[in-house]
Amino acid sequence: MWLRTAFAAALGLLIASGPHGARAASAEILPVRVFEAAHPLDAPVANSAFAPDAGALPAPAFAGVLKIRAAPMQTLPVLTQPLIQGRDTRVFPGAQLEFFTVGDVLVPVQRGQMVRESGGGATPSYWRIIPQFGRVWREKGDGDWARAAFPVMLVNDTENHAHQGLATFLYRPGQVSGLMVQFIQQTGPYLIKQYFVAWGYAPADFSPGDAAALEPRRTQALRELADRLPAKPWGELLKTVPPGTLDGFGGPIYPKWQVAVALVQGGTLYYQEPETPYGKYPYPLEMRFGVRSVTKSVFAPLALLRLAQVYGPWVLTLEVGDFVPGLDPKWRHVRFIDAANMSTGFGGTGSTKTHPNDIFDGYLGGDYDAWYTAPSHADKIHQIAASLHPYPWNPGTVMRYRDQDYYLLGAAIEGFLKSVRGPQADLGDMVQSEVFTPIGIHQAPTVRTRESGGRDGMVWCNAGYYPTLDDLAKIALLYEARGAHGGVQILNRELTTELMAARDAIVKNADASLGPVPGPLPESTEDGLYKMGFHFLRYVNANGAVLYLPSMHGSGDNEVILYPNHTVSIVMAKASVEVLGPEKTRSDEGPVTIRAVERLAPF
């Protein structure tokens, strides 16, 4: 009974994620002959080719391993600097993926994992891939072939942007075609200084899967799908509210720079269907995003609040330099909470002017890219020691936004974990097992350092997370519930309550070394607060009350805002200032998303 109920819930979610309305069948857009030709297409096709339509027929079960060979991809526009650190951004990586079906749901065994290249050519691919839940079906006229399609993300192990894509192949007993792949949306680039779409054909070979593991794998897949929040298309929400209530939601970012937009209300995730140059993305709930500094609101704060629940709040007063060798002596006076508040008193690039203070003064100084691209933990520590130095003020008094601070905070938390749990302890594994899994997040792909022998090292706590909308919603709801879920207190309740209230948050534009700071200074427009990875946005509501709304924010204008009315807004975007420069990506209308949420449920 449980399996049937879970399957119905899972299938309902995937159908809700599928295309709507009349459209050409996939067999018309990608007929069997294009797979038999085993050549890339001249251009990407309509995204609707990668999902069944209303007239699709049931498909036979599938189980097996696809050994996918590396393949060239065409890009539009042509990439001007395709090689990064000797790896080619135009190559779809060779990889081995195992699949099985549950009804008409296609399940990758490696779903939610950053699958590395395992069969490359002379020049390695720049990419890893993350496969997600897809579909299987049959089309009239396909003969004995059935169709399979799945969402797939191109991601990288050196930075944190994602290309959202689609893959499809044909199958029949003991045989598969190659994969048609296309990548038609993306979050904000950094090292690749262009926006682009890519497509290609990747040959594949079939081998049987692990039959003995099939039933437990099916049970686990159904459990994961059943653990998702209830999800409904945006139109379902619009039917329930007066016209105009949600006008402007997603702004002030212009729609052309938005990747995905959603709202959580009453425990339900309402999502807009993501637009791409080739039509709506047919699996919006499977999209994963490169959220960059949203990561700062996730791994380190959740780890600290979890450790405070297990060991006590004193964990926040531990000092970074005691757990990370090779740092300047000042780090022995920097508490975990100072690093979490970006107030280490370290990272001395830019000016020492602090009244008013500019938190981004010198942000990309100190040979930032050399640190950012340094592969191993030792390499990153070397870059920090060589390029950054102390500021004249004490820790805990002045905020200067530094990715290096959050990286070192993660390293220090992991060092503490190893000191109390043994050398095998890992921050990412702890957050997964003790925070994510209990709230229904079963995978958390994220960038780690690259150590000798190709081994993955520590989780980056400054950036690198690739969540879905469902993941972001669950994390936000855990914070809003003051760290409790299902009657279990996962995070320290008192500290989580203080965080959501911005209690003792640092004032971004002030200098507390000069004396107590009652609130933001009027001399600067950077008038918010910051604490433990959260920006607190100043907002005056309709009643004239001044509120500070907790916000997770990442480069490219990715933003998750938590509201007093227990709603959550999610806007994933690609407005990368490093690539676009002065191009205007947002209107002058102010916080229109926040206003829309207030109209929906006043706070």
- pLDDT of 450 above 80: yes
* 3-state per-residue secondary structure call for 417-479: HHHHHCCCCCHHHHHHHHHHHHHCCCCCCECEEECHHHCEEEECCCCCECCCHHHHHHHHHHH
The structural domain count of the chain equals 3
Q: State the pLDDT at residue 521.
A: 64
Domain boundary among 207, 226, 245: 226
DSSP code of 390? Answer: B
pLDDT > 70 fraction of the chain, expressed in percent and rounded = 95
Does 410 lie in the same domain as 309? yes
Q: What is the mean pLDDT of residues 112-133?
A: 93
DSSP code of 315? Answer: G
- pLDDT of 290 above 60: yes
Q: State the pLDDT at residue 27.
A: 85
Write the pLDDT tens digit of every residue in 211-221. Answer: 999 999 999 99
User: Which region, left, alpha or beta, applies to residue 384 given φ > 0 means left and ψ of -120 to 50 means alpha?
Assistant: alpha
| Domain with 571 in it | 231-286+555-603
Does 256 lie in the same domain as 176? no
Q: With bands split at pLDDT 50, 70 and 90, how would you rate the model's confidence at 444?
A: very high
Q: State the pLDDT at residue 18.
A: 46
Does 587 lie in the same domain as 473? no
Q: What is the mean pLDDT of residues 306-313?
A: 98
Does 194 lie in the same domain as 83? yes
Does 146 lie in the same domain as 219? yes
Query: Which residue, 123, 131, 122, is CA-closest to 155?
Result: 131
Domain boundary among 197, 226, 255: 226
Write the pLDDT tens digit of every residue in 172-195. Answer: 999 999 999 999 999 999 999 999
Give the chain's mean pLDDT: 94
Name, in order, each residue with C-beta under 8 angstroms of 410's C-beta and a sequence gap of 6 or more: 299, 300, 303, 427, 458, 459, 460, 461, 462
Q: What is the mean pLDDT of residues 253-270?
A: 97
Q: β-strands 268-271, 258-265: how paired?
A: antiparallel
Q: State the pLDDT at residue 355.
A: 85
Domain boundary among 186, 208, 226: 226
pLDDT > 90 fraction of the chain, expressed in percent and rounded = 89
Q: Are 18 and 106 in contact (CB under 8 A)?
A: no
- The reported pTM is 0.96
Q: What is the mean pLDDT of residues 4-19?
A: 52
Q: State the pLDDT at residue 526.
A: 53
Q: What is the mean pLDDT of residues 536-561?
A: 95
Does 156 lie in the same domain as 138? yes
- pLDDT of 4 above 90: no
Does 313 lie in the same domain as 264? no
Does 282 lie in the same domain as 298? no
Q: State the pLDDT at residue 218.
A: 97
Question: Which CATH number does the domain housing residue 386 bear?
Answer: 3.40.710.10
Q: State the pLDDT at residue 459.
A: 98
Q: What is the mean pLDDT of residues 345-365?
A: 93
Terminal-residue alpha carbon distance, the chain: 42
Write the pLDDT tens digit of every residue in 13-54. Answer: 564 444 444 567 888 999 999 999 999 999 999 999 999 999
Write the pLDDT tens digit of every residue in 60-86. Answer: 999 999 999 999 999 999 999 999 999
Q: For residues 409 and 524, what is the distance between their CA atoms, to the nearest angstrom? A: 28
Does 354 lie in the same domain as 310? yes
Does 205 lie in the same domain as 72? yes
Q: What is the mean pLDDT of residues 316-333?
A: 97
Q: Is 97 helix (H, G, I), strand (E, B) or coil?
A: strand
Least confident of 311-315, 391-395, 574-578: 574-578
Q: State the pLDDT at residue 600.
A: 96
Does 342 lie in the same domain as 452? yes
Q: State the pLDDT at residue 518.
A: 76
Does 356 lie in the same domain as 260? no
Name, in order, each residue with C-beta under 8 angstroms of 248's C-beta and a sequence gap of 6 or more: 589, 592, 593, 595, 596
Write the pLDDT tens digit of every residue in 518-544. Answer: 777 665 555 689 999 999 999 999 999
Long-range contacts of 486-491 (CB under 8 A, 24+ apart): 486/438, 488/438, 489/309, 490/306, 490/309, 490/434, 490/435, 490/438, 490/439, 491/302, 491/305, 491/306, 491/308, 491/309, 491/435
Q: State the pLDDT at residue 480.
A: 98
